[in-house]
Copies of this chain bind each other. A is one copy, B any other.
Amino acid sequence: MKRFILILITAVAAVTALQAQPPERTANQDKYYVRRATHFDDLPVYRNDIIMLGNSLTDGAEWNELFRNPNVKNRGIIGDIVQGLYERMEPILQGQPRKIFILSGVNDVSHGVDGDSIGRVMEKLIVLIKERSPRTEIYLQSMLPFNTDVQMWKLLAGREQVVIDGNRAMEEVCKRQGVTWINLYPLFVDKNGKLREDLTNDGLHLLGPGYLIWRDAVINYVNDKGYHGKGHHGKGHPRKHHKPRRHRRF
């Protein structure tokens, strides 16, 4: 009996240690990823925070300034993939933030991943957030189009359809998981299915005006303070329509 109890205690301790251990970061070996991720490890997240999570597109903007909201925090990393996000969620989830906005996938496309696979990894990420931080409202933003006329991205050439497929897969994930889908794609695409030339200087990343379009597309989701309040349609189904707030160009 003593021996059994000892084994039981050891097993419980092992499981506890396993839970406390954040996942190893192996998917993204990029040195910039490691530097940003170790920096984010040092930055606490709080319950009122709004997390902008993603790749270079998210990394490139000063979101707290764009939204004039100090609770908005940049958790973008140039070159990151969806699994890379998954493996660095620990310091974010510990803070149980109010909202997380995700935009990712185009680097997976450039690595040859298909749309359905992008949807599956994204669903894994969303399930992780829901399990570990149930109060967090999740907003999944679509991938933007790219434009290989402006600059040739060899790894993206001919993969325009994968973005469309991936977006469709991610929209399905949102329905399944009760998460808000924000389709940015139509705001950035030209009539040839490419990223608008006036919004980019390399066919993939955004110039200043591109970030204003993105800001205007999501600001009502960011500023909604109705969470847990009247008119809210339940966790995971935040209101789709809001009164405009502090919604002006500058």
Please report A residues at the B interface, Cβ cutoff 8 Å.
31-32, 34-36, 38-44, 60-62, 64-66, 70, 73-74, 201-202, 205-209, 211-212, 250
Task: Tell me whether A35 and B70 are in contact (CB under 8 A).
Answer: no
Task: Tell me whether B62 and A43 are in contact (CB under 8 A).
Answer: yes
Which of chain B's residues have a CB closer than 8 A to the CB of A201? 31, 34-35
- The copy count of this chain in the complex is 2
A31 to B202 alpha-carbon distance, docked (Å): 7
Task: Tell me whether A208 and B250 are in contact (CB under 8 A).
Answer: no
User: Of B31, B61, B73, which is within 8 A of A62 by CB?
Assistant: B73
User: Of B39, B61, B66, which is within 8 A of A211 by CB?
Assistant: B39
Q: A31-B202, A201-B31, A202-B31 are in contact. Are A66 and B43 (CB under 8 A)?
A: yes
Shortest beta-carbon distance from A146 to chain B in Å: 14
Q: A36-B60, A60-B35 are in contact. Are A42 and B211 (CB under 8 A)?
A: yes
Which of chain B's residues have a CB closer than 8 A to the CB of A74? 62
A34 to B201 alpha-carbon distance, docked (Å): 8
Q: Nearest chain-B residue to A33 (Cβ)?
A: B201
Which of chain B's residues have a CB closer than 8 A to the CB of A73? 62, 65
Shortest beta-carbon distance from A129 to chain B in Å: 20
Shortest beta-carbon distance from A202 to chain B in Å: 5
A201 to B44 alpha-carbon distance, docked (Å): 23
Q: A42-B212, A211-B42, A212-B42 are in contact. Are A35 and B206 (CB under 8 A)?
A: yes
Closest 7 CB pairs of A and B: A70-B70, A38-B208, A39-B208, A42-B208, A43-B65, A38-B207, A31-B201
A199 to B129 alpha-carbon distance, docked (Å): 31
User: Of B41, B44, B61, which is within 8 A of A208 by CB?
Assistant: B41
